[in-house]
Amino acid sequence: EVNTSLEISGFPIDQNNKVDYTVTRQTKTAEVILNLYSNALKFTPKGGSVKIICTYEPYESAHGSILIKVRDTGVGIKDQDK
């Protein structure tokens, strides 16, 4: 078993206390996060951990940016493959 966690911060919240995904391309963002998560799980040994941190950073203009960090205790990428 691998311990997992997801931390989301900074996203605009609507009146129902839910993340306002209208600021994102919801499908593509979810696809990227799922891909990062599944790869981290695949290469993290039993007893390891995977943590995904998603932060929305608004700009003064209409759009902001999403910062996605993945931290895991997996084997990593070999130097020759970087």
- Output the pLDDT for position 18: 61
Q: Look at the pTM and tell me if it is higher than 0.85.
A: no
- Output the pLDDT for position 25: 60
**Rounded to whole angstroms, how far apart are CA atoms 20 and 14?**
6
Tell me the pLDDT tens digit for each residue of 35-51.
888 888 888 888 999 88
Average pLDDT of the chain is: 76
The tokens of 55 are what? 């932060």
Tell me the pLDDT tens digit for each residue of 53-64.
888 777 776 667
Neighbours of 29 (CB within 10 A): 15
- Output the pLDDT for position 62: 62
According to the per-residue pLDDT averaged within each range, which of 11-15, 26-30, 33-37 is highest?
33-37
